[in-house]
Every structure is written in C-alpha cells, then in structure tokens.
Amino acid sequence: MTFQFPAALTIAGSDPSGGAGIQMDLKTFAKTGVWGMAVITALTAQNAAQVTGSWPMDPEMVREQIIAVLEDLTPGAIKTGMLANTEIIKAVEETVPKDVPLVIDPVMISTSGYRLLNDDAICDICERLIPLAHLITPNIPEAEIISQMKIASDEDVILAGSKIMDLGAKQVLIKGGHGKGDDAIDYLIMKEGNISFRHTRLPYDVHGSGCCLSAAITGYIAQGFDDISCCKKAKDLVTFGIRHAYEGKNKHKMINP
C-alpha cells in the first residue's frame, strides 16, 4: 500500500517528560490529523520544572536522519525546534527540501531559564534558516533578539515582525504569551497585511506551549489549510491544551492538547 496520509516532520530536541520538544510535537501532529515524523537534534534531561542536562547530537546523525526520512516519505510541512548549535543548523540548512513549507520555532531558552541554543548560533538561525522560513514563530524575547530592537508596544511588535521578514522569512507570528494584559495576543505579520489572534490569558505558565503551537501550525499546513486558518486553528488547540494542562508532583503545569 502506498503512503497517502498527510505527513509532517519535526526536527527538534527530545523532552523525556513529554511536555515539549519532539514528544509534544508528535502528540500535536496526531491531534491535527497528520502522520508525524521526528528527527532528533539533542537529548535533554528535564521535566516541567527544570532542564538538568542537554546533549546535542553529532550533526552527521542529524543529517543522516533527515536524508533517510526524506528518501521514503514527503512531508507536507516541516518544523524546527531546539537546534542547539551552529553545526546542527548547518546540517538542517543543507538537507531540508526547499520546496516544502518550513516553520521555524526559534527556541533559545526554556521557560525555566536553561539555554537550548548556543549564543553564537543565533546569527546562524538568522542567516541560514530564516531565509528558508515559510513562517517563524518567535515569542517576544526571541523576536527582540532576532530583530535587534526592544518591543514595548503593539506598533513595536509589527515593526519587529517586518524586520524579521527583511531577513527573508515569508511570514512572522509573534506570540504574546509572555505579555501582561488580560488577553494573550499573537500577531501574524505578512506582506499582505497583519492579523491578530486574541485569547483570554490564563493565570499560569505552562511548559511546551511554543512547541505545541508551531507543531499544530505545521500539521495544519501539511493538510493544505491556508496560513491564516492554520494559525487560528493552532492557537485554538494551544488554548485548549493550556486549559487542560497536566500538573506534575512539583506543581509545574504542562500543555495537554
């Protein structure tokens, strides 16, 4: 039987607690209705409260995983998450197909404060991957680093988004989860204009929401939905997941889409 199911690929780090990283991406892909594939870039030791260790893969292992998957299956969309260092970013740049929509979640630091991307690799995300991006999904602190400007207002969000498009991204979704208002507002910045997605902010942080959002968008793109619908449906799925968050023994919550 030939492979007919819409498929999506994540290239990301492992979170053994299942709350973020490839484990969350695969659960989210399943929820959106696509066949999930996963290339591992790094192992981590972590739970919802803290990351205690991180071991990047040999870049050759990343390269070979991507080549092997693509030899057999064609994803309708690909996402990247934790990429750890310059060598892994180069391996991804060289092997991802340029005709498949690429969603970049520019993971830098975990909510618990652990560095998931080397400082000196931020410029490689900007120079090597952003020009390939169909969509990039930074939170406000990540958008500030990539656009090299402070974001203090809605106008700043739009300006930062257009600076990130100048680096080559086709579209930018800046996530407002780190903001402070009653509503969490995400801004989708596109050449044709900008759209915002608003949801009531829930009074707690959850682990894994960024991974879940970018994976959901990727899953919906793989099924052929238009970009605005993908972002809207993904935001709804994340909001549901935050409302139904799991809580571990240490009282930290993780998204449950």
Bridge partners (DSSP) listed for residue 199: 184
Return the structure tokens found at 152: 């203090």
Binding-site string for ligand PLP from residue 147 to residue 186, where x marks contact by CB under 6 A and - marks none: ----------------------------------------
Q: Which residue has the tokens 């799925």?
A: 237
Size of the site for ligand PLP (CB under 6 A): 20
Q: Quick one: 193 or 203, whose CB is closer to ligand PLP?
A: 203
| Least spacing, CB of residue 120 vs ligand PLP, in Å | 19
CA atoms within 13 A on the CB side of 201: 15
Tell me the residue type at 62: V
| Least spacing, CB of residue 13 vs ligand PLP, in Å | 3
Contacts of ligand PLP in 63-122 (CB under 6 A): 81-82, 105, 107, 110-112, 116
Q: Quick one: 6 or 213, whose CB is closer to ligand PLP?
A: 213
Interface residue with ligand PLP, options 208, 219, 241, 257 (CB under 6 A): 208
* Pairing verdict, β 246-247 and 193-200: unpaired
Bridge partners (DSSP) listed for residue 187: 174, 196
DSSP letter, residue 37: E
| Among the residue ranges 11-19, 59-67, 87-95, 129-137, the one whose residues contact ligand PLP (CB under 6 A) | 11-19
Q: Which among 206, 191, 53 has a CA at the least distance from the CA of 115?
A: 53
Determine the Cα angle at 83 with ends 78 and 87, to 5°: 110
Instruction: Tell me the Ramachandran region of residue 113: left when phi exceeds 0, alpha when psi lies from -120 to 50, beta otherwise.
Output: left
| Least spacing, CB of residue 10 vs ligand PLP, in Å | 9
Q: Quick one: 6 or 255, whose CB is closer to ligand PLP?
A: 255
Contact positions vs ligand PLP (CB under 6 A): 12-13, 15, 20-21, 44, 46, 81-82, 105, 107, 110-112, 116, 207-211
